[in-house]
Amino acid sequence: MKKTTKILFLITLFLTNVCVMADLVIVPAIADLYEAFPNAVNVVNYIISGPALVMIFSSLLCGKAMKFFSKKTLLVASFALFTGASIFGAFVVNIYYIAFMRTLVGLSMGFVNVLAISIIAEEYDDEGARSTILGIFNAAMAGIGAIIGFIAGFFATESWQAVFKVYWIALPILALILFFIPKTPAERETAEAEDGGTKQTFGQEFWVMCLFFFLFNVLYMVIFYQVSVYVAENGIGNQAFAGLLSSLGTVGSALACTAFGFTYKKLKKAAVLPSYLLLGTMYFLLYLSPGIVTGVIACTLLGAAYGNGFSYYFMEGTIVVPDSKVSEAIGIVTAVNGVGMFLSTYVTTWLQKLLNLQTVTGIMPIVAVVSLVCGVGTFLVSKKYKVSV
């Protein structure tokens, strides 16, 4: 591509993160959703994290679909689905209608995320360039999430239905995809022949990496999804403040993602360890000293931890497998991301019931300890098996 064309291509690709970060529009209104539908807590849980469940299956499906359809064709179709399902997500104030529309959003999220990262992997062969662009892509993801989450916080003060107005931004992005994403041939099964018949399996290191990525997502998503609940139960602000904390998390994530190319170059296999350390210490801080300043500091650094870890696991997913398996690997990593996101809300309520606790704040010491244990486990496994965990 020419320089100008490539810039427009990257900007468009980065903007598709509005779909990937769609949940941040809902986050400031979560506490109000529980109040609006007090007799359907499990359905509200699904509305919150259900798209992550659907994303599991759509991510895996996308990995296969790219062998038979152009990435652009799939991207246009999936982003168009997201545009319609998100804009009209609360057109009917019925909990089952909202759940259905959120299901369609989840379907599109899986496709859009896998396609965007696959396009980056296809365009950038060099490991250094790929890690840099992937880091910037994830920084854009976090930055866009911060913006839409912050705006949604103000809409949430009007009503929980009003947050869906934020999704109208998807329409011009769909137009950009049509104009600036190039159409490439489908991968087809013939791509597997390029490896000369060797190293055609995913390998042990890939699956160990996926296990830790799953745990990483479950741990971070506790605060990601429950930030408005944490704010309400500690009396430290309203929906707008919850939206601010959510946005600060994505700001922290954006900064960590921007620095990821440098971080990965310097630390390689150890690049994810600071993320687990931050998760553990910040959850302890939120538990021991709930307050406005604490919330601002902890949510920002927790976001940074997630941005660094998220970039790390997706980067490793593209380099620890054969070239012919990259697209499928990205689909699997995205699915693992979705499993962790989806189960997080249920793990939260399960821990509350198990420990007979009434607040999200009460389970944070457990989350902190598990985070630190996972950090130690990550280090030990990487040393023993020499794999990228």
Q: How confident is the model at residue 12 (pLDDT cuts 50, 70, 90)?
A: very high
Tell me the whole-structure pTM to 2 decimals: 0.77
Contact 120, 13 (CB under 8 A): yes
Q: pLDDT at position 3, please?
A: 78
Mean pLDDT, the chain, integer: 86
Cα–Cα distance, 165 to 163 (Å, whole number) = 5
Which stretches of the chain are DSSP H helices?
3-15, 17-20, 23-26, 30-36, 41-65, 71-87, 95-123, 127-156, 170-180, 204-234, 239-258, 260-267, 273-288, 292-319, 326-354, 364-385
Residue 83, both tokens: 């545009």
Q: What is the 3-state secondary structure (H, E, C) of 293-325?
A: HHHHHHHHHHHHHHHHHHHHHHHHHHHCCCHHH
Q: pLDDT at position 144, please?
A: 87
Cα–Cα distance, 345 to 123 (Å, whole number) = 36
Q: How far from 319 is each of 131, 186, 187, 267, 304, CA to CA, in Å?
A: 10, 21, 18, 16, 23
Residue 86, both tokens: 């998100």
Q: pLDDT at position 306, please?
A: 94
Residue 63: name the closest of 270, 344, 324 by CA.
324
Contacts of 61 (CB under 8 A, 6+ apart): 110, 111, 331
Contact 371, 309 (CB under 8 A): no
Cα–Cα distance, 62 to 330 (Å, whole number) = 9
Q: Is the pLDDT of residue 261 over 80?
A: yes
Q: How confident is the model at residue 298 (pLDDT cuts 50, 70, 90)?
A: very high
Residue 278: name the closest of 301, 246, 309 by CA.
301
Query: Among 39-43, 167-171, 182-186, 310-314, where is mean pLDDT lowest?
Result: 182-186
Q: pLDDT at position 141, please?
A: 84
